[in-house]
């Protein structure tokens, strides 16, 4: 929601930097009670990271009690656990005041490091393809409304069901668009052997802003990311676990 809100502000007012998760978190810390809120967010990130790692290690369908998950899903859970664990550490550093921030080229540096490794081009390309796959999955889940399968629909009123479905569709499609852009630029970085082609969420939103009808496209996507944040609150309330 924070990323979406800040990006909408850029689209409407035409100033500021296109945000990523870290930028959004650093914005919060400057507000009243900001550090307390970030501390709570850090706890949530740690919990989510541990949950994903547990799914990867234990293998079973922990929510449904069904058969073991495939090895590919378990690898995906492990990747998510590592990613959100790193985001937890980053958030904790911001809370403690140990993160100076200001590095807008972290994707360049990380990609350059990986490209220099043996088979580095293939690794970067594989990560880009993974983002593209995640993009397709998110769009698919949004368009087909597959996300509703995880919700306790019987506890919702008809109005809530319809409203939450609309928010979910918009949110998942917008998330898919951003993931797709990140994936495209990572694949291009691997193909061209150029780390400057790699972008994160902030870079993907910046690319939208620079395109024809940029502010409109950025605002539309940002509103979708905000909608995904709203849906996440719905999922926290109604997800069957």
Print pLDDT tens along the chain (241 aa): 877 877 777 777 665 555 666 667 777 767 767 788 888 888 999 999 999 899 888 876 666 655 667 787 788 888 888 888 888 888 888 788 765 554 545 555 666 777 777 777 888 888 888 889 989 999 999 999 998 888 888 888 889 889 999 999 999 999 898 888 888 888 888 887 776 666 666 667 777 777 777 777 788 888 888 899 999 998 888 887 7
**137 and 239, same structural domain?**
yes
**70 and 27, same structural domain?**
yes
- The verdict on residue 13 lying in a domain is no
- 97/109 Cα distance (integer angstroms): 23
Query: What pLDDT is stored for residue 81 in this prediction?
Result: 87
Task: State the DSSP code for 8.
Answer: H
- Domain stop point among 103, 125, 152: 103
**120 and 61, same structural domain?**
no
**117 and 221, same structural domain?**
yes
- List the domain range (segments joined by +) for residue 92: 18-103
- The verdict on residue 75 lying in a domain is yes
**170 and 93, same structural domain?**
no
**117 and 36, same structural domain?**
no
**173 and 142, same structural domain?**
yes
Tokens read off for 207: 């690319």
Query: What pLDDT is stored for residue 170 in this prediction?
Result: 93
**31 and 121, same structural domain?**
no
Chain-centroid distance, C-alpha 128: 14
**80 and 144, same structural domain?**
no
Crossing angle between the packed helical segments 34-58 and 71-96, to the nearest 10 degrees: 160
- Domain stop point among 103, 120, 147: 103
- The verdict on residue 3 lying in a domain is no
Query: What pLDDT is stored for residue 200 in this prediction?
Result: 66
Q: Into how many domains does the chain fold?
A: 2
**89 and 148, same structural domain?**
no
Task: Please say whether the beta carbons of 140 and 222 come within 8 A.
Answer: no
**112 and 43, same structural domain?**
no
**56 and 169, same structural domain?**
no
């Amino acid at each position: 929601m924070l990323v979406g809100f800040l990006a909408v502000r850029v689209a409407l007012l035409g100033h500021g930097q296109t945000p990523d998760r870290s930028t959004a978190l650093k914005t919060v810390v400057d507000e009243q009670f900001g550090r307390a809120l970030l501390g709570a967010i850090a706890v949530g990130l740690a919990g989510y990271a541990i949950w994903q790692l547990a799914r990867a290690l234990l293998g079973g369908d922990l929510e449904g009690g069904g058969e073991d998950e495939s090895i590919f899903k378990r690898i995906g859970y492990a990747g998510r656990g590592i990613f959100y664990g790193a985001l937890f550490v980053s958030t904790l550093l911001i809370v403690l005041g140990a993160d100076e921030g200001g590095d807008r080229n972290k994707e360049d540096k990380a990609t350059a490091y990986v490209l220099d490794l043996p088979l580095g081009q293939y690794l970067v390309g594989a990560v880009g393809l993974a983002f593209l796959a995640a993009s397709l999955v998110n769009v698919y889940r949004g368009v087909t409304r597959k996300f509703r399968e995880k919700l306790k629909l019987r506890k919702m009123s008809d109005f809530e069901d319809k409203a939450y479905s609309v928010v979910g569709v918009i949110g998942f499609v917008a998330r898919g668009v951003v993931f797709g852009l990140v994936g495209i630029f990572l694949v291009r970085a691997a193909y061209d052997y150029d780390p400057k082609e790699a972008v994160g969420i902030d870079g993907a939103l910046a690319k939208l802003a620079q395109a024809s009808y940029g502010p409109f496209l950025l605002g539309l996507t940002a509103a979708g990311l905000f909608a995904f944040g709203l849906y996440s609150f719905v999922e926290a309330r109604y997800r069957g676990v």
